C-alpha cells in the first residue's frame, strides 16, 4: 500500500460540450452530446461525424492544440499568483508515436507553443512531455508522485491535449472500419479536447485523492486476432488495488476511456469478472467519451475531472472510484481514487 497519495486541487476542460470544467462536467453528467459533420467524406460518400471544439476563431493542427492546452492551464491555475507558476512542473500528455496521422515533432513543438501563449511563462525544470496516448495520465500521476515527494515543488500540473480530426488520422481509422457510421455500429466518433488537473500532496478538507496506480500490457490487442481474455487490464487493476490497499468489491463505480468499440467493452467486462471476488448489487461504469467522442490522450484528466466533480457535488454512487484506460498498442493503466469529505 502506497503512502504517497495525491490530491486533485483543480481541473480544466475544453471539450465539444463545454469550454470549462464546470460546463463540461455538467454536460457529461446530463449525457449531452453535439456531434457535427466534418468536411471529410467516408468511402460510402457520407460526411464523417465528429466532436469538434468550437473556439472563438478557426484554428487547426498545432495551433489549435496549443490554444486548447493553454485554456485548460489558465483555468487550472487561475487562483494562483502568476509568479508562482514557474515552480509548478507541467506534465504534458500527447498522442502516442504510433497513432495514425500524429503531428510531426509534437514533443518538441507543442510545449514551446503553449509557453508562448502563456505570455512566455517559464517552465519548471521538472516539466516533461509524455507521449503515451490514453494511458498518459496514469504515467503522469506516477511521475507527479516522484516529483512531489522528492522535491519542494508545491504542485504538479498534468495537461493533456489531442485531436483525431485530421484526414491522415481519419483515413486510417475509416479504412480499418473503426469509425461509427450509418454502415458500422461498432466504432467511435472522433473528437478533440484538452484537459488538465492540478495535483499536490494531501491537504485538509474535501478533495479527490489518488490512492493507487497500476500498469500492464495486453498481448491480445484490438489489432490482433488473438482471443481477448482481459489479462492486461486485470493485472493493471489488481496492481492499482494493491497499491491502494483495497479490493475490487470496495470500489463503488468505474470511469473508463471506452468510446464505443465492442472490443473495449468486452475487455472491461472480462477484467471485472477476473478482479471482482464478491457480489455487488450495482457496479456502474461511466464513459465520458459518449459525450465528447474519442479524444485520445485528453480523456485521462477528463475522467479524473469528472470523478472530482461527482464527489464534490455528491452525485457519485460512492466515494471509491476506479479509473482505467487502454491504448490500441496494448498499454493498460488503472487509477484508484477516493473522494475524502474531511
Name the strand (E) or helix (H) holding 240. Answer: helix 231-244
Residue 4, pLDDT above cutoff 70: yes
Q: Are 30 and 44 in contact (CB under 8 A)?
A: no
Write out pLDDT tens, residues 7-59.
999 999 999 999 999 999 999 999 999 899 999 999 889 999 999 999 988 89
Q: Are 149 and 176 in contact (CB under 8 A)?
A: no
Residue carrying the nine cell digits 475544453: 14
- Average pLDDT of every residue of the chain: 95
Residue 18 pairs in a beta bridge with: 15
Write out pLDDT tens, residues 278-301.
888 889 999 999 999 999 999 999
Q: Are 278 and 4 in contact (CB under 8 A)?
A: no
1 pLDDT band, cuts 50/70/90, is low
Q: Are 33 and 290 in contact (CB under 8 A)?
A: yes
pTM recorded for the entire structure: 0.96
**Domains of the chain in sequence order:** 6-200 (3.40.47.10), 207-340 (3.40.47.10)
Write out pLDDT tens, residues 148-162.
999 999 999 999 999
CA separation, residue 154 to residues 6, 15, 121 (Å): 12, 28, 17
Give the integer Cα–Cα distance in Å for 235 and 215: 7
Amino acid at each position: 500500500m502506497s503512502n504517497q497519495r495525491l490530491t486533485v486541487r483543480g481541473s480544466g476542460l475544453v471539450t465539444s460540450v463545454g469550454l470549462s470544467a464546470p460546463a463540461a462536467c455538467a454536460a457529461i453528467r446530463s449525457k449531452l452530446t453535439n456531434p457535427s459533420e466534418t468536411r471529410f467524406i467516408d468511402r460510402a460518400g457520407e460526411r464523417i461525424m465528429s466532436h469538434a471544439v468550437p473556439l472563438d476563431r478557426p484554428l487547426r493542427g498545432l495551433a489549435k492544440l496549443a490554444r486548447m492546452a493553454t485554456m485548460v492551464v489558465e483555468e487550472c491555475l487561475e487562483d494562483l499568483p502568476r509568479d508562482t507558476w514557474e515552480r509548478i512542473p507541467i506534465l504534458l500528455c500527447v498522442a502516442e508515436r504510433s497513432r495514425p496521422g500524429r503531428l510531426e515533432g509534437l514533443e518538441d513543438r507543442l510545449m514551446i507553443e503553449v509557453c508562448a501563449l502563456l505570455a512566455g511563462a517559464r517552465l519548471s525544470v521538472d516539466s516533461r512531455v509524455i507521449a503515451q496516448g490514453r494511458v498518459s495520465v496514469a504515467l503522469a500521476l506516477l511521475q507527479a508522485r516522484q516529483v512531489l515527494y522528492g522535491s519542494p515543488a508545491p504542485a504538479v500540473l498534468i495537461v493533456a491535449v489531442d485531436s483525431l480530426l485530421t484526414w491522415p488520422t481519419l483515413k486510417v481509422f475509416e479504412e480499418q472500419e473503426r469509425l461509427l457510421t450509418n454502415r458500422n455500429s461498432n466504432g467511435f466518433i472522433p473528437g478533440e479536447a484538452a484537459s488538465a488537473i492540478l495535483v499536490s500532496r494531501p491537504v485538509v478538507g474535501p478533495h479527490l485523492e489518488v490512492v493507487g496506480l497500476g500498469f500492464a500490457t495486453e498481448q491480445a490487442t484490438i489489432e490482433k486476432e488473438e482471443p481477448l481474455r482481459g489479462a492486461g487490464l486485470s493485472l493493471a487493476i489488481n496492481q492499482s488495488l494493491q497499491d491502494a490497499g483495497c479490493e475490487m468489491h470496495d470500489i463503488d463505480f468505474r470511469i473508463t476511456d471506452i468510446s464505443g468499440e465492442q472490443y473495449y467493452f468486452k475487455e472491461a467486462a472480462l477484467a471485472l469478472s477476473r478482479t471482482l471476488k464478491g457480489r455487488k448489487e450495482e457496479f456502474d461504469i461511466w464513459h465520458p467519451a459518449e459525450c465528447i467522442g474519442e479524444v485520445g490522450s485528453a480523456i485521462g484528466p477528463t475522467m479524473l475531472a469528472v470523478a472530482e466533480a461527482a464527489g464534490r457535488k455528491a452525485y457519485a454512487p460512492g466515494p471509491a472510484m476506479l479509473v482505467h484506460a487502454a491504448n490500441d498498442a496494448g498499454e493498460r493503466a488503472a487509477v484508484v481514487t477516493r473522494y475524502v469529505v474531511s
